[in-house]
Each structure stands twice: as C-alpha cells, then as structure tokens.
Amino acid sequence: MSAAATFEFTRRLQLVSDRDVERLDDNFLAPARAFDAADLGTHLLFPREMSWYYGEPIWHELSPAKQQMLNHLSFCQSYFSTAVAEAATNTLNFQAALQTFIREDAEVALYMAREVVEETTHIQSFLIVINKVLTHHGLTLDDLRRANVSLSLSERYVQAHSLVGWLRGNLDFYYFTRFPLNVNQKTVERCAIDEPDMHPGVRAILKNHAIDEARHMQMSRATGKVALSRMGTAMRWLACIGFAHFAARLYIGRHKKDGTLQRGTRVGTLVLCGVPKERANQAYEAWRDRVNQPEDPPLVRAGRHYYLRQMSEYVDQLEVPLRLRSYMKRVISDGYADVAAKAPDAREPALEFGDLTR
C-alpha cells in the first residue's frame, strides 16, 4: 500500500487549510486583541455546568463574584492546558513532517507542517485572552502555571511518542492516540460555544478554533486507521491496547482514575479563588468521591456520554478482530463506569454537534 494513495485525504484537508490559513489573523488574533476583560460583566468563559466544583457545597460557599471567577479560571486552566498540549502536538507534528519529507510524500508532510502554523496561532490567541482574564482577577500567568501541576503530562506525552517514533521510524502511534485528545477537547469546546451566557468575543474565537480542530480531528481519525493498516499483527494489538488505556484516562469532569496531578490542579485553582488550602483539599475529596452530588451535572454527564459514544464508534471502525474491539470498549467503559451502565436520560441535554461554518 503506497503512502501517497492512503494519505490521499490530506489533499482535501490541505485545500480547506489553504483557504483558512490566510484568515488566521482575522479569525484568532484580531478578536483576541479586541477582547477587553473589563466587558466581561456577568459573562461566562466556560460552560456553566462544567465549571469546576459546580453545584458542590464549596460552590455555594463562594460569592457570585467568586463563582464567576472560578468559571473564568476553569477556562484559563483548560485553555492553558490546551495551549500546552497544542505545543506538545506541534513538536510531534513537525517530527512527523520531517520523517515524511525524507521518506514519504512531501505534500502530506506539508499538510502536517501546516497544522503547526495553525496551532501556533491558536496558542497565541489563547494566551492573549488568558493573560487579560488573569489580570482582570489580579493574577498572573505564573500563578496559573504554579497551580496547574498537570501541565507536565504534555511533556511526557511528547517524550513517549518521540521515543516510539524514533524506534519505529514514523509517528503513526502518535496520530492514533491524538484522536481521543481531539474528541475530549471538542466536547468541552462545543459546550462552551453553546453556553448561553458565554462572552460573545471569546465564543467567536472558540468557534473558529472548533472549525480548525474539526479538520485536525479528521487528520487524526484517518491517519490512525491508515497507521493501523500498516502495522503487523503484534504491533496492531499493542497499539489498540495502548489506545484503549489512553482513551480511558482522558475525561471530562471527575473520573475513577483522577490522579495526583489532576488533584493538585483542582485544589490549586480553588486556592487561587481565595479558598484556604485545607478547605480546598476537603472540597476536592468530597467532589471526587461523589459525596454530595453522586451524579454529575446534566451537561457533564452528557459530555461524558458523548465522549464514550465517539470512542465506541471509532473502535467499531477499526479493522481489528472482534475480540480486540470488545477489549478496547471494555477498558474505555471501565473508566467511564458512571455513564457506561446507563443510557442518557431525559434530564441530560442530547449532545449532537452539527458542522460549524464561518
């Protein structure tokens, strides 16, 4: 199977990107520069029900102004993590481009490199907005970074995939695992765009981002399938097992596999809102252990259902033995036990995201 034939889909992605790339400034940097945190008023920057600790006793202990601050900081943490994750993917995107320039189709390599250009503008626009929001709340980027101890996960992601990519001579594994990352990010972003009280300027940036990322997701989804088809049987099993465990560890809201770094970030962010460390720790534990709200807020539950459904549909499309597919679904569902057992119910908004257009 020749790479040129199998990666044919990148031609179409490149055509769309050729059109979009000329407008990166208009779609991202101009609205980010125009954003004025003084206009925030009562606007939100993150889906209300996805605000960290929404509906928990600690949420109700905060004044309305602090609740809004926590919503804004949920955005800052989430999008600074996205910016760092995009910097991480850029490292791998360009490594993939380099290998592809040398050994495979130069046009495919150009498209891989193009995504680096797009991500760099996304990162820049997020940083502009985040810095303005932080200043508005009397905080700095250093405060945010100190609280966000989970950022180092992105470094580890790059190190692991660089090593595997070096050993195998291609970044196929990377594109395969990039798909769950894309779906996870998309779910939260589309809920933010649909949030009625969202700040309109930030909504516009997120909408433009979701459009670019829908294309990046097509790249991940299709490249993952091509990658699998090029692997031998043993490698394919290994890749699928790795995919399932990775996908099971990505989540929206709280999760059975909530780790130390996630805990540190959630606690540190509450402290930034003025909550004493000890109270923040208690609040985190009560939230994680589902003490006060055994069920997540409806939008979080819907987001978790959506992610699980997308993973299951993707696994069904992979050309691997049925036994392996069942194993993958079981691993991912295990992480999502709270929603895997139950079908979405009437209290939950149905998340069906149509295509966005500019």
Q: Which residues of the chain form contacts with Fe ion (CB under 5 A)? A: 86, 119, 122, 213, 216
Question: CA-to-CA distance for 240 and 271, rounded, in angstroms?
Answer: 39
Contact 188, 210 (CB under 8 A): no
The half-sphere exposure of 270 on its side-chain side, counting CA atoms within 13 A, is 26
Cβ-based nearer residue to Fe ion, 72 or 216: 216
Among candidates 332, 328, 116, which has minimal Cα distance to 216? 116
Cβ-based nearer residue to Fe ion, 105 or 119: 119
| In the complex, minimum distance from the CB of residue 216 to Fe ion, in angstroms, rounded to a whole number | 3
Cβ-based nearer residue to Fe ion, 287 or 307: 307
Question: CA-to-CA distance for 338 and 312, rounded, in angstroms?
Answer: 16
DSSP assignment string, 45-102: SS-GGGSTTTTSHHHHHS-HHHHHHHHHHHHHHHHHHHHHHHHHHHHHHHHHHHHHHH
Residues 6+ apart with CB under 8 A from 5: none
| In the complex, minimum distance from the CB of residue 123 to Fe ion, in angstroms, rounded to a whole number | 7
| In the complex, minimum distance from the CB of residue 17 to Fe ion, in angstroms, rounded to a whole number | 11
| In the complex, minimum distance from the CB of residue 263 to Fe ion, in angstroms, rounded to a whole number | 26
Q: Where are the alpha helices (DSSP H) in 137-199?
A: 141-147, 152-168, 172-194
| In the complex, minimum distance from the CB of residue 261 to Fe ion, in angstroms, rounded to a whole number | 22
Cβ-based nearer residue to Fe ion, 213 or 296: 213
Question: CA-to-CA distance for 67 and 61, rounded, in angstroms?
Answer: 9
Cβ-based nearer residue to Fe ion, 86 or 338: 86
| In the complex, minimum distance from the CB of residue 136 to Fe ion, in angstroms, rounded to a whole number | 24
Cβ-based nearer residue to Fe ion, 24 or 351: 24
Cβ neighbours, 10 Å, residue 191: 24
Cβ-based nearer residue to Fe ion, 27 or 170: 27
The letter for the amino acid at 326 is S
| In the complex, minimum distance from the CB of residue 137 to Fe ion, in angstroms, rounded to a whole number | 24
The 3-state DSSP class for residue 44 equals strand
Contact 3, 104 (CB under 8 A): yes
| In the complex, minimum distance from the CB of residue 117 to Fe ion, in angstroms, rounded to a whole number | 11
Question: CA-to-CA distance for 313 and 310, rounded, in angstroms?
Answer: 5
Among candidates 229, 124, 118, which has minimal Cα distance to 175? 229
The 3-state DSSP class for residue 321 equals coil
Cβ-based nearer residue to Fe ion, 213 or 348: 213
